[in-house]
Amino acid sequence: MGGASVKKKGVIFTLEDAKRYGVIEALIEGKMTNGEAADALNLSKRQVQRMKKKVAQNGPCGLIHGNRGRPSSRVLPWKDHVISLVKEKYSDFNFSHLAETLEEEEHLLVSRETLRLWLRRENTETTTPSKEETTIRTGGAHALSRWLSPPVVWRRTFHLAPCYR
């Protein structure tokens, strides 16, 4: 929708809304047909008929979606609280542990992935071990040979046979 808007009685009309209202008003006055209005608005005849009915019942506000001006239902209202908790109290938790702890201790149900997205956007990292910090797992000679083998180049595979003695 366009950037310009007109606000009247708590309802915001964009230029697109004003265009739609003008076409529907002309349709109601009998200056155009449903087909012509549908072509002008790039909609189907059925959608134009629904819009005409809503404008006849509610006036120009019938064109405005009922959720306009309301916050999204997908927004969790405690996002800022969770981010401040992570900075103050849970900075050394990984995402999975953080999600579990927030549910158990703070009674906040936030998924691991949501926490990851929120904290990455805020540049608040929880502790995740870097490659240098990871330990070598002991798995015998095969694990050691994997560790000592040259790095794998993309689209190139090194086949290492396990060493048995």
pLDDT, tens digit, 9 for 90 and up, residues 93-103: 888 888 898 88
Alpha carbon distance 142, 163 (integer Å): 6
Q: Categorise residue 19: left if φ over 0, alpha if ψ from -120 to 50, beta otherwise.
A: alpha
φ, ψ of residue 15 in degrees (nearest 5): -60, -35
pTM: 0.46
Is 50 exceeded by the pLDDT of residue 2? no
Between helices 112-121 and 79-88, what is the axis angle to 10°? 80
Higher per-residue pLDDT: 149 or 75: 75
Residue 151 clears pLDDT 70, i.e. is over it? no
Residue 163 pLDDT exceeds 70 = no
Least-confidence region, from 6-20, 24-38, 92-106, 132-146: 132-146
Q: Which residue has the higher pLDDT, 90 or 156?
A: 90
Write down the pLDDT at residue 32: 92
Residue 91 reports pLDDT greater than 50? yes
pLDDT of residue 156: 46
Whole-number Å distance between alpha carbons of 130 and 134: 6
**Tokens, residue 143:** 């694990």
pLDDT digits (tens, 9 = 90+) for 32-89: 999 999 999 999 999 999 999 999 998 888 888 877 777 777 777 788 888 888 888 8
